[in-house]
Structure 1
Amino acid sequence: MTTSAHLDASPTSVLPGEEVRIPLELRNSGNVVEAYSFEVLGPAARWSVVEPATISLYPNTAGQVELVVRPPRDTTVAPGELTYGVRVLPQEQPQHATVPEGVLHVRPYAEFAAELTPRMGTGRTGAGYRVALDNRGNYPLSVALSGKDTGDLLKFGLPSGPTLVEPGRAAFVKVPVKPKRWLWRGTPVPHAFQLHAVPAAGPEGAPEVAPVALDGSLLQRPVLSPGLLKAVLAVVALAAVLAGLWFGVLRPVVRSAAKEAVKEPVKAAQAKAEEAKKAAEDAKKAGGGDGGSDGKPGGKPGGPGSSPSPSPSPSPKKPGEGPGPQPQAALFSARLTAAAAAGGSDTATYTVPEGKVLRLTGLILENPQGDNGTVVFSVGGKPLLAPALENFREQDFHWGSGLLAAEKQEVTITLTCRTVGRPPAAPAPTKCSAAALLNGTLE
């Protein structure tokens, strides 16, 4: 071999952005003058050159060139060891080319910046901030955040652990800041605080990175602003005006209108009550005759020692007409129940016994499930009441003189179901259900 080349075998250290020169020794052992050119091989080739680019050597002479390495200060140049080579190409005898190799150690460098936005926040219960962590070095940075204010009046929503920022990248961290106590009223209060971004130690040989202090402030506004207080006072004043209008003007008018509305129905009810009372007195006189024509015992027509016999109550011609209750009347109470599916109907009936007259003085209609439909109350086939089920759960009626049902007449309720209701906290029923409680006397 007529050409030999030699590089320093020890690793050469270089910092990105700087320059290092590595000597390359050559020797021409041939018998002709040889010119040499060079080619850098490996990852460092894009930012390395040989100076001079060519060299000529006489036979049996030696020379030297320099490998100039200039790695850029860029985050893409990662720290660590790189193996490189330089191909030495003889022009006269290219078959004798040689490639000496070397090791290049790229050192780490750090460039770190941080920014807080916004610098001043405002709010009643706090404000949100964002910290931008910018790593412009060539190795990853682990950055921890901390916060502090002078009066220890604020709470900082800091991340639980450090934030890893890759080289050439930026990381954004949200930091909410809240006051420990609310400001209910008064003027806004400013709070100054400071966040610290502290990078951790880098790889071996990396320079120490100084922490960055970020100044910020929070303007705490009162919860009850002057405008809100004015609105609350206006609402209270309006409520007071409306209350005075109701009690002073509208309520007396409504009461007066209500009295006028029920005046005529009350008069009609009183007239009916007087008629029923007169009929009861007449019936009592008709059934209470003495034992004889002269009012003494033993007179005619009862005979000696005979007792007066009450005359039977005449049967009414129409339901609801007749004299007052007889002294020997027995108390009466009965319950009628009817059930029907949606779209259907059902009837419950009570028949007055033979030789008796039923005097109804009270009626209670029940709709326990809240069904929709109608229930018709009839006496002797004549409908007297037909209320809608959806208008009541329990409804009672009372009559001073009573509704009369003659012997063998029927008292009925007829249920017509439109929609089955559903009582609270109970299984859904399949049928409508209604009932009537009858109260009165059986004479």
Structure 2
Amino acid sequence: MSTVARLDQESVSLNAGESATIPLEVRNTGDVVEDYQLEVVGVPAGWTTIADPQFTLYPGTSTVTTLTVNPPRSSEVPAGRLSFGIRVVPVDNPDDTVVPEAVVEVLPFLDTTAELVPRTSRGRRTGRHQVAIDNRGNVPVTAFIAVTDQAELLKESDTEAITVPPGRAAFTKIKVRPVELLWTGPPTTIPFVVTVTPQDSLPVALQGTHLQEPVIPKWFGKALLIALAALLALAAIWSWLLKPTVQAAARDAAADVARQEAQAQAKQVAAQAAEAQKAATAAEVAQVKAASAAKQADTTNKQVQLAVTGGVPPRVVTAPFSLRLAVSDARAGSTRTDSFDVAKGQSLSITDFVLENPQGDEGLLLVSIGRQIILSQALESFRTTDYHFVTPFVATGKATVTLTIQCRQPGAPPGVTPAPTTCRDAVTIGGPLSKPAPKPAKKP
């Protein structure tokens, strides 16, 4: 081997946007003059420069050049440890190429912006907006959203939490609802503030306005007057033109009715004799139906007796149920999940939570049903803890119970060598599970 190369530092930690200089010594241990070419390999090659990428060394001599490592402040450079090497190539003896290696750790940074779209909404009962959250940092960020107004003219809105990956934007919908309806009068302007609070960062306040419109519009009074005038006109036409004609027609109709009633009475007397004969026939038919009804009643009594004595099985059974969700492969800066699907027709009522963080990891633990987050806990705030609720969280059929672990830094338990490289956390949930009872087996 005719070439020896050595870096003064094998690892360096940098904030995004900062730079560091690492000396590199190259020695020609061969017997001939060598020309050298240097290049950086690995992810940091895009933002690492070499002061002297080409030089010549005589036998037995050495030189020192420098590497400048400058990770940009961009979401495209993820936080974490990145390995790289310096390929030192002797031009005349490329088989003697050496590659000293080092590690640069890019530290996480947060850069979150938010925007309210639109800034002004209008409506009688509800105003609709969207909050756009842009994560320009190099780690995922969880932001909490709340709506407030100083005049207390709006109802309290549900707060939400949303996680945005680095270099991405996310949108969430919010609604503003006035406390009282505005029945009449001019529209009312209600200013409010949407506060977006990113985790471990300063909150962002977004100014918004809701223009509350009256329930009864201005044109309603004019329309009412026009309708009243139309009714008065119709009443006058009825009294002067139509009423006399209608009265004459009514007298003629009454005379016709009297004649028709006399004819009907004559027909009725003739029909009564025929009805008497039909009544006799109907009595015979009723006797047959009574016998059939008695037989049906006997069958019904037997069915009721079978139900009372336990012949009808229950439709739903409920039994205690517990489940453990665990995540063991979440590296620093990553998010991992474990989930359980409630089967169709079943209902799980969750009342108990037991949280496990045996390593002392740092990050965030979330438990959700579908899209609703029901439990949120910072990992660094506990090792093992439990919660018990009187009112359960209910997950019905086809709902998914999900454990989400956002790992910021794996823990380092005393006496464990090597230290863990992934977050290992879990939650045990418990409560009654209701499901349809099995169908009884048919008797042979």
| Range into which the TM-score falls when normalised by the shorter chain | 0.5 to 0.7
2:141 corresponds to: 141
**Residues 156, 176 of structure 1: 8 Å contact kept:** no
Provide Cα deviations, 1:290-310, integer angstroms capped at 9, x if missing partner: xxxxxxxxxxxxxxxxxxxxx
Shift of 1:134: 1.0
Q: Is this contact kept in 2: 1:4–1:98, CA < 8 A?
A: yes
Which residue type is aligned with residue 250 of structure 1? L
Which of these residues, 249, 252, 255, is aligned with residue 260 of structure 1? 252
CA distance in 1, matches of 2:158, 2:249: 69
CA deviation vs aligned residue, 1:253-309 (integer Å, no higher than 9, x gap): 212122134547758999xx9xx9xxxxxxxxxxxxxxxxxxxxxxxxxxxxxxxxx
Match of 1:308 in 2: none
Uncovered stretches (5+) of structure 1, i.e. residues with no partner: 202-208, 277-319, 321-331, 340-347, 349-443
Count of matched residue pairs: 279
Match of 1:12 in 2: 12
The residue number in structure 2 matching 1:90 is 90
Q: Report what 2:184 is aligned to.
A: 185
- Residue 275 of structure 2 is matched in structure 1 by 335
Paired with 2:168 and 2:230, the residues of 1 have a C-alpha distance of 60
**2:155–2:179 Cα contact (<8 Å) kept:** yes
Are 2:203 and 1:211 equivalent residues in the alignment?
yes
Change (3 A) 1:266 1:211: closer
Residue of structure 1 in register with 2:173 after alignment: 174
Equivalent pair of 2:27/2:63 in contact (CA under 8 Å)? yes
SS of the residue 1:121 aligns to: strand
What residue is the counterpart of 2:341 in the other structure? none
Tell me the distance in 2 between the aligned counterparts of 1:84 and 1:37: 17
Stretch moving more, 239-248 or 213-222: 239-248
Contact 1:121 / 1:217 at 8 angstroms: preserved in 2?
Answer: yes
Look up the SS of the partner of 2:231 in the other structure: helix
- Tell me which residue corresponds to 1:283: none
Q: 2:214 maps to which residue?
A: 222
Match of 2:59 in 1: 59
Q: 2:230 is matched with which residue: 227, 238, 243? A: 238
- Higher mean alpha-carbon deviation, 31-40 vs 98-107, is at 31-40
Inter-CA distance 4–337: structure 2 relative to 1 (3 Å threshold):
farther
Map of 1:389 onto structure 2: none
Distance in 1, Cα, partners of 2:212 & 2:205 = 22
**CA offset digits 1:313-363 (Å, max 9, x no partner):** xxxxxxx9xxxxxxxxxxx87625769xxxxxxxx9xxxxxxxxxxxxxxx
Which deviates more, 22-31 or 146-155?
22-31
- One-letter amino acid matched to 2:231: A
- 1:90-129 mapped onto 2 (5 Å cutoff): 90-129=90-129
Distance 1:35 1:269, change over 3 A: closer
Question: Residues 9 and 22 of structure 2 are in contact (CA less than 8 Å); yes or no, is this contact kept in structure 1?
Answer: no
- Tell me the distance in 2 between the aligned counterparts of 1:51 and 1:241: 100
* Residues 93 and 247 of structure 1: CA distance in aligned 2, closer, same or farther (over 3 Å): same
In structure 2, distance between residues paired with 1:337 and 1:172: 83
Partner SS state of residue 215, structure 1: strand
Provide the C-alpha distance between the structure 1 equivalents of 2:88 and 2:259, rounded to a whole number of angstroms. 132
| Distance of aligned partners of 1:42 and 1:264 in 2 relative to their CA distance in 1, 3 Å threshold | closer
Whether the aligned pair in 2 keeps the contact of 1:5 and 1:26 (CA below 8 Å) is yes
Alignment partner, residue 194 of structure 1 = 193
Q: Deviations over 1:188-235 (max 9, x none)?
A: 11111111111002xxxxxxx322110011111111112123223433
C-alpha distance in 1 between matches for 2:148 and 2:128: 16
Give the whole-Å Cα distance in 2 for the aligned partners of 1:149 and 1:162: 20
Look up the SS of the partner of 2:95 in the other structure: helix
Give 3-state SS (helix, strand or coil) of 1:30's partner.
Answer: coil
Shift of 1:137: 1.5
Give the Cα separation in 1 of the matches to 2:97 and 2:277.
Answer: 119
Change (3 A) 1:245 1:7: same
Q: How far does residue 17 in structure 1 lie from its aligned partner after superposition? A: 3.6
Distance 1:123 1:65, change over 3 A: same
- The answer to whether residue 29 in structure 2 is matched with residue 29 in structure 1 is yes
Which residue in the other structure is 1:387 paired with? none
Which residue of structure 2 lines up, in the alignment, with residue 284 of structure 1? none
In structure 2, how many angstroms separate the alpha carbons of the residues matched to 1:145 and 1:265? 77
SS of the residue corresponding to residue 260 of structure 1 reads: helix
SS of equivalent to 1:232: helix
Unmatched 5+ stretches in structure 2: 282-444
CA contact (8 A) 1:22 1:68 kept: yes
Aligned counterparts of 2:162 and 2:257: Cα–Cα separation in 1 = 85
Instruction: Report the AA paired with residue 108 of structure 1.
Output: P
- Aligned mates of 1:184, 1:37 — CA distance in 2: 82
> Does the 8 Å contact 1:8/1:102 carry over to 2?
no
Cα distance, 1:110–1:254 mapped onto 2, change above 3 Å: same
Return the offset for 1:91.
2.4
Aligned-partner SS, 1:116 = strand
CA distance in structure 2 between the aligned counterparts of 1:143 and 1:179, rounded to whole angstroms = 25
Other structure's SS at 2:155 match = strand
Once residues 51 and 169 of structure 2 are traced to their aligned partners in structure 1, the CA distance between those partners, rounded to angstroms, is 39
Q: Secondary structure at the match of 1:193?
A: strand
- 256-265 vs 213-222, which deviates more? 256-265
Check whether the contact 2:147–2:157 (CA below 8 A) recurs between aligned residues: no
Change (3 A) 1:336 1:51: farther
Describe the SS at the equivalent of 2:177: strand
**CA shift in 2, pair 1:238/1:6, >3 Å:** same
- Give how far 1:185 is off: 0.9
Give the counterpart letter for 1:91 in structure 2. V
Offset of residue 103 of structure 1? 0.8
Give TM-score scaled by structure 2 length: 0.56
